[in-house]
């Protein structure tokens, strides 16, 4: 009889406890994260995506009370990375880094998944420009000299993975200038640098963050920036537009999760991302490396993705680039 009389009260207590656990605050404090997190990066070590992700992951781990690991899975269009993320448990402990190269890949490559239907945004991470880079001994000092040489012979452009921001930026530059150029793909930014130094390629398309040491050390030279204005980290490098070429590219990185991850987990990660990217120390570090740190809500990031998807779809179609 005593057990029976206490049953309703006990049931109410259990239900109240379940409601508490389901709340985002309690989820973050006790239920999530319950183990180290992983951010899958669809690029090799040392590139802009890798560097910005690692710096942010360290602070994110401090905030969440669990280590945040980086898992590099380079491959064309981010397919290997995406498939790895989609086969992981959908509990919020496995995330993926998307870039505006992902919006490009959706149009340019026949993907075995849909970045917008199979994944959900968490927060943007950083925005960045690219640079047209040459070796220190290159004859190219600006775009004028590059275009003049391109009128005499075919050129070679080096970028990381096909379908990446860097890759399509080179395709877009080729279309904008009507140059006869061959694109040479590399797995990592370091390999792009090596290709430039060996003379295997004429120009590399890469971020300041990815090859900062080589640029600052004078091993590589930037002859043009791809953004709308000169950057604080390379104030003496004119943009392509300044040099008379109708061409502009701005990239971004963002954290996404496979669809099906609990909303409470996404909220915990999103809030932590916004707190971390507001920290002056991390903002200063990322800015010094050529990245503009910016957090966002999931809805804001979703809008940016769709905007860029439409933009690059139009670029690809107008340039006649084959899928």
List pLDDT tens digits, range 59-91: 999 999 999 999 999 887 789 999 999 999 999
Tokens for 136? 């220190």
Q: Please give the model's pTM, rounded to 2 decimal places.
A: 0.76
Identify which has the larger pLDDT, 208 or 289: 208
Reported as type and span, the H/E element at residue 123 is strand 119-129
Distance set, CA 130 to CA 9, 103, 208, 246, 283 (Å): 63, 17, 7, 15, 19
In which residue ranges of the chain is CATH 3.40.190.150 found?
28-127+251-319
- What residues does 131 pair with on adjacent strands? 206, 225
Q: Which fold has domain 28-127+251-319?
A: D-Maltodextrin-Binding Protein; domain 2 (3.40.190)
Q: Kindly give, in sequence order, each residue whose CB lies less than 8 Å from that of residue 3, ignoring residues fewer than 6 positions away.
A: none
pLDDT value for 39:
98
Tokens for 75? 């491959």
User: Is 130 a residue whose pLDDT tops 80?
Assistant: yes
Within 10 angstroms of residue 4's Cβ, the number of other Cβ atoms is 7
In which residue ranges of the chain is CATH 3.40.190.10 found?
129-250
pLDDT value for 21:
39
Q: Which fold has domain 129-250?
A: D-Maltodextrin-Binding Protein; domain 2 (3.40.190)
């Amino acid at each position: 009889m005593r057990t029976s009389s206490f049953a309703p009260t006990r049931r109410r207590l259990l239900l109240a406890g379940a409601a508490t656990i389901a709340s985002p605050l309690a989820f973050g404090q006790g239920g999530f994260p319950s183990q180290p997190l992983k951010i899958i990066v669809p690029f090799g070590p040392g590139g802009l995506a890798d560097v910005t992700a690692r710096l942010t992951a360290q602070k994110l781990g401090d905030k969440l009370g669990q280590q945040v690991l980086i898992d590099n899975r380079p491959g064309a269009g981010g397919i290997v990375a995406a498939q790895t993320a989609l086969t992981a448990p959908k509990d919020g402990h496995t995330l993926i880094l998307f870039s505006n190269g992902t919006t490009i890949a959706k149009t340019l490559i026949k993907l075995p998944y849909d970045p917008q239907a199979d994944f959900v945004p968490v927060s943007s991470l950083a925005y960045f420009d690219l640079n047209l880079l040459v070796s220190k001994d290159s004859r190219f000092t600006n775009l004028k000299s590059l275009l003049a040489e391109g009128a005499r012979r075919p050129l070679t452009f080096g970028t990381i993975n096909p379908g990446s921001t860097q890759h399509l930026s080179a395709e877009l530059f080729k279309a904008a200038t009507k140059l006869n150029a061959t694109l040479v793909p590399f797995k990592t930014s370091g390999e792009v640098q090596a290709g430039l130094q060996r003379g295997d390629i004429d120009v590399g398309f890469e971020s300041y963050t990815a090859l900062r040491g080589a640029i600052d050390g004078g091993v590589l030279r930037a002859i043009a920036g791809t953004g709308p204005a000169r950057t604080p980290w390379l104030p003496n490098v004119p943009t392509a537009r300044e040099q008379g070429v109708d061409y502009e590219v701005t990239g971004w990185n963002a954290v996404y999760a496979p669809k099906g991850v609990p909303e409470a987990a996404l909220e915990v990660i999103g809030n932590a991302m916004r707190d971390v990217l507001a920290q002056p120390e991390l903002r200063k570090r990322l800015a010094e490396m050529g990245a503009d740190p910016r957090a966002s809500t999931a809805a804001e990031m979703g809008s940016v993705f769709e905007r860029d998807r439409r933009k690059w779809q139009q670029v690809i179609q107008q340039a006649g680039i084959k899928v």
